[in-house]
Structure 1
Amino acid sequence: MQSNLQATIIVSTFNKPEWLKLVLLSFDIQTTRDFEIIIADDGSDEKTKTVIDQFSEHTDLKVIHVWQEDDGFQKTKILNKAIEASNADYLIFTDGDCIARNDFVETHLKLRRLQHALSGGYFKLTDEVSRKINAQVISAQKCFEKDWLIAEGQPKTFKMNKLTKSDAKAKFLNFVTPTKATFDGMNVSCWKSDILAVNGFDERMKYGGEDREVGERMMYNGVRFLQIRYSAICVHLHHERPYKNEDILKLNKQIRQHTKQQKSTYTQFGIKKDETIS
């Protein structure tokens, strides 16, 4: 274990090896190296393992691959396993389709505060631009530059402010944004003790709001969420969502409603399994 380990980056993935390769590269060129990476793998095939093995050979970062068999969308289960496998006191969660700017980890570490979680944002790339992201583009940090993105076909919108390099501008926009600070799994960080205190993710939940729900329990348990969507920057590669399912969304909604009504601070369906669940 690295002696100066400040954070564990938990990257969730499922059968997107080419993208994961790019995401891992973005973490290999961070301005700080005081972190380990855990890949929370929800049942990918050998191609993903090959990408992780190749990356591990060429980096001095500690890389841990936590895998479970493919049994449909079981992201909450693999994230709980990753939390248990983590060695740092501070956890940063992101997805295997989000390229981190080179100051991403440093920013999360710089802004962390006790009894707080940090809610970051992401800038969505179009399908056309996503296809143009490669190792050279990431190494040169081009995918975080407005001019490059516009030249490659990304529409110019207000959301490009999410790519600001100005601390003052980021602070101002974080302050005025109407978007609530929530637990969004693409870019969020918290103390390991705070997420363990609420027993991690509710493993009954599939795709749709499963990350928000753990954040709601953390809030009811006294953790405050701070808005850093204009400070900790990542770009999100375009993809379809074939795992979206109306029945599952309905169940997830019911679980979240129950959490809110009860102001729940704990789930019996999390990391620790309660033998006496009725």
Structure 2
Amino acid sequence: MKLSLIITTYNSEDWLQKVLVGYSIQTEQDFEVVIADDGSNEKTKEVIDSFKNVFKYPIIHVWQEDQGFQKCKILNKAILKTTTDYLLFTDGDCIPRKDFVAQHLKHKEEGYFLSGGYFKLPMETSQKISLDIIKSQDCFSISWLIKNGVPKTFKLSKLTKVGFFAAFMNWLTPTKRTFNGHNTSCFKADLLAINGFNEEMQYGGLDREVGERLFNLGLLSKQIRYSAVCLHLDHKRGYASEEIWKKNHQIREFNRKNKIIKISKGISQY
């Protein structure tokens, strides 16, 4: 196996099904799928079971009891269940283009993590994307998206960049090279060196904080937002709160200021 794909999910079985279809048709099939499930009900397990014979390797379903938003905890548990030395992180609401895994493998390099983005869809378009449309890749067509509720903007061009021009746009974009939980890959050894995800954090910048500690460790980051493309399906965020955002911001500020590499409440607990 060339890498381990970690997909986070929580009670979004319809979106997860679309995402898994996207991974079932990848040009590169030599990867394992690990589902980091933050307490979903039985419907999510049924979706995962329906894909058990679709991928080259058995799906690993890592589940924990629902105790509110505990994404960092389930991610740390999922990392320990992977069997390769290279990890690709994404969310169960992000449909990958068929070359998504191949692009991460193409750009991987020791001493770096890869920073990808997503193209955010409105709810109307998210609901119109069927499994067949994912298989045909029509959902990555600008004309299809415009016909189905996506406004015409420059951001649509992100979906069409290939080869040299995609590399040029990766270089040109002013977007920071951050660790994004929906589209980032790195070596497992680097994550273990910083003790994984910080379980003192909940929703709001928890993935960015990992990247900031990887920078403190001495890593660099490559921008691949125009090469590794995924579509973000719309959903509500009932777990977001201003109080948690402030707490997370304070943690990140402290870690940046003090060049913190390893946190105490991380993967070593397991």
Query: 2:111 maps to what in 1?
Result: 115
Query: 1:103 maps to what in 2?
Result: 99
**Greater alpha carbon shift after TM alignment, 51-60 vs 193-202:** 51-60
The counterpart of 1:32, out of the listed 28, 33, 41, is: 28
Contact 1:9/1:35 (CA < 8 Å) preserved in 2? yes
Counterpart amino acid of 1:53? Answer: D
Query: 1:217 maps to what in 2?
Result: 213
Q: How many residues align?
A: 270
TM-superposed deviation, 1:55: 0.8
- Could you give the per-residue CA deviations for residues 233-257 of structure 1, whole angstroms, max 9, x where no partner exists? 0000011211111111111111101
**TM superposition score normalised by structure 2:** 0.98
Confirm or deny that 1:231 pairs with 2:227.
yes
Q: What are structure 1's unaligned runs of at least 5 residues? A: none
Contact 1:39/1:66 (CA < 8 Å) preserved in 2? yes
Distance in 2 (CA, whole Å) between partners of 1:184 and 1:136 is 28
Distance in 2 (CA, whole Å) between partners of 1:165 and 1:144 is 11
| Structure 2 counterpart SS, 1:53 | helix
Query: 2:199 maps to what in 1?
Result: 203
TM-superposed deviation, 1:162: 1.4
TM-superposed deviation, 1:153: 1.9
**TM superposition score normalised by structure 1:** 0.95
Distance in 1 (CA, whole Å) between partners of 2:7 and 2:263 is 23
TM-superposed deviation, 1:52: 0.4
Contact 2:30/2:56 (CA < 8 Å) preserved in 1? no
| Structure 2 counterpart SS, 1:131 | helix
Confirm or deny that 1:265 pairs with 2:261.
yes
Counterpart amino acid of 1:191? Answer: F
Equivalent pairs: percent with the same residue? 54
RMSD: 1.1
| Structure 1 counterpart SS, 2:203 | coil
TM-superposed deviation, 1:165: 4.2
Distance in 1 (CA, whole Å) between partners of 2:96 and 2:269 is 34
The counterpart of 1:76, out of the listed 72, 75, 79, is: 72
- Could you give the per-residue CA deviations for residues 186-241 of structure 1, whole angstroms, max 9, x where no partner exists? 00000000111100000010000000001100011011111000000000001121
TM-superposed deviation, 1:273: 3.4
Distance in 1 (CA, whole Å) between partners of 2:154 and 2:207 is 26
Counterpart amino acid of 1:186? Answer: H
Counterpart amino acid of 1:227? Answer: Q
